[in-house]
Amino acid sequence: MSAPGRPHIPVLLRPLLKAVAPVEGIWIDGTFGAGGYSRGLLAEGAAQVIGVDRDPLVFEMAESWRGEYGERLSLVHGTFSEMDDYAAEIAPEGTVDGVVLDLGISSMQIDQAERGFSFMQDGPLDMRMSQDGPSAADLVNTLGEEELADILYHYGEERASRRIARNILKAREIEPFTTTKQLVAVIERSLPRPKPNQSHPATRSFQALRIAVNDEFGQLIEGLEAAERALKPGGLLAVVSFHSLEDRVIKRFLQARSGGGGQGSRHAPVVKSATPGFDKPSKAIPPDDEELVENPRARSAKLRVARRLDTPATPADRTILGLPAPVLDPAAKPASHKRRAR
């Protein structure tokens, strides 16, 4: 594993800590990553943080500093969709004061070319957070043109999805895809040359494949539901998202679980919640100018915060959440992960 080329800066940490102040009691950091949120919460007064991550390598990186927090920091290898189970094993039931989720891919993962997340570096076409299950190479080498185009369109909002998918199938007849460089070359040939200040042509396609490989939207909904189950009355849920698809789902989930479904549309009508699980959520909090200077990666980030009510947790109505259309056969999704407390 190569060392990260730059330090990971936790996005929206200052506004998050301000929004959930005073920080106390037990918190779950459902996307532990480089540990920035966990360390911030502990510094602000959290009695204990349970850090969860599906990527086993993040715990190796934390070995050099986690000991300074002693028993105040517990690490669990697993998915945040099961965070309520992990909390029940580590902390007394009904004692979780807060949950934080950072849905972005960390810079340390992007910088590791061997992980296959980056279209700027050549490496194996992998993209698996947990390092098990089907990889991005498996998808682009085996899926049909329509399935592949649907992934690129629904998960990446790529308008040229069918053209790219068609060219991928042509290219793999000659040679199977094994590296990110191969895929980038096909995508670049499929799209016009970008204008100045436009994003790289492969941005949307790489986002789409990463989401599909890691079942990120399935994990997101199950994670929001798990957070609702885990939080005690008065507990806080704070979620940082990085693209409009994620933010739309989070916004509609919190609207629905706080008594209503927002403005609604012909695709997602307003649905009143019989037993709201959260108080009315905050408006989305964007990065300020200072953070944008410190960390340009934060430019698309949004923070939403909601407070848990004293009501039973209930499953979300997925039909009103603005989820992308399902495009993967369940058999193609990553296998469930064994968890390991550390």
Annotated binding site: 35-37, 53, 80, 102, 109
β-strand 48-53 against 231-241: which pairing, if any? unpaired
CB count in 10 Å sphere of residue 262: 17
- Annotated binding residues for S-adenosyl-L-methionine, written as ranges, equal 35-37, 53, 80, 102, 109
Beta bridge partners, 307, equal 236
Spatial contact of 72 and 48, defined as CB atoms under 8 Å apart: yes
CB under 8 Å to 200, separation ≥6 — which residues?
Answer: 119, 120, 194
3-state helix, strand, coil split of the chain in percent (to 5) is: 45, 15, 45
Q: Which of 98, 122, 315, 128 is nearest to 222 (CA)?
A: 315
Distance (Å, rounded) from C-alpha 124 to C-alpha 168? Answer: 16
Distance (Å, rounded) from C-alpha 317 to C-alpha 228? Answer: 14
Exposed, middle or buried, 257 (CB in 10 Å: 0-12/13-18/19+)?
Answer: buried
Spatial contact of 79 and 52, defined as CB atoms under 8 Å apart: yes
Length of the chain, please? Answer: 342
Residue 63 tokens, joined: 């070995």
β-strand 231-241 against 302-307: which pairing, if any? antiparallel
Spatial contact of 59 and 203, defined as CB atoms under 8 Å apart: no
Q: Which of 94, 20, 33, 93 is nearest to 62 (CA)?
A: 33
Coil/strand/helix, residue 305: strand
Distance (Å, rounded) from C-alpha 122 to C-alpha 120? Answer: 7
